[in-house]
């Protein structure tokens, strides 16, 4: 069964705007990760946030984690057309070897 669930399923914004995607999960985690997938390609790892961290930045990406609410958000600032892709959250359960992926948010950035 899916651990993480992204929201919204699809998001369309203008270039230069910020994009926010959310992820909710159900059980205790060791870490939460975000991945990007361009159409027809493999997934690319973006950022990993551990369960004892609350916020992490990488370039134009900002990830927050609220373990009390079992949720995370991914913010992409000043979006570009090249950011058009599907974004997945993935959770690593406490003590688990497995990374469980959500179904993704499809982001379209309109030039």
Partner 1 sequence: DAGITQSPRHKVTETGTPVTLRCHQTENHRYMYWYRQDPGHGLRLIHYSYGVKDTDKGEVSDGYSVSRSKTEDFLLTLESATSSQTSVYFCAISPGDFNYGYTFGSGTRLTVV
- Residues lying near partner 1 in the complex (CB under 8 A) are found at 1-2, 30-31, 33, 35, 41-45, 48, 50, 88, 92, 97-104
Contacts with 15 (C-beta within 8 Å, 6 or more apart), sequence order: 79, 80, 81, 109, 110, 111
Q: How far is the CB of 16 from partner 1 (least distance, A)?
A: 28
Q: How far is the CB of 29 from partner 1 (least distance, A)?
A: 10
User: Are the C-beta atoms of 45 and 58 separated by less than 8 Å?
Assistant: no
Q: Which is nearer to partner 1, 20 or 30 (CB)?
A: 30
Q: Which is nearer to partner 1, 32 or 76 (CB)?
A: 32
User: Are the C-beta atoms of 35 and 87 separated by less than 8 Å?
Assistant: yes
């Amino acid at each position: 069964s899916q651990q993480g669930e992204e929201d919204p399923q699809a998001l369309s914004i203008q270039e230069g705007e910020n994009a926010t995607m959310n992820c909710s999960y159900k059980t205790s985690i060791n870490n939460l990760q975000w991945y990007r997938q361009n159409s027809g390609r493999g997934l690319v790892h973006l950022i990993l946030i551990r369960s004892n961290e609350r916020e992490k930045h990488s370039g134009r990406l900002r990830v927050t984690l609220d373990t009390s609410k079992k949720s995370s958000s991914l913010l992409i600032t000043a979006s570009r057309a090249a950011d058009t892709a599907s974004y997945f959250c993935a959770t690593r359960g406490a003590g688990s070897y497995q990374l469980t992926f959500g179904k993704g948010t499809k982001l379209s950035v309109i030039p």
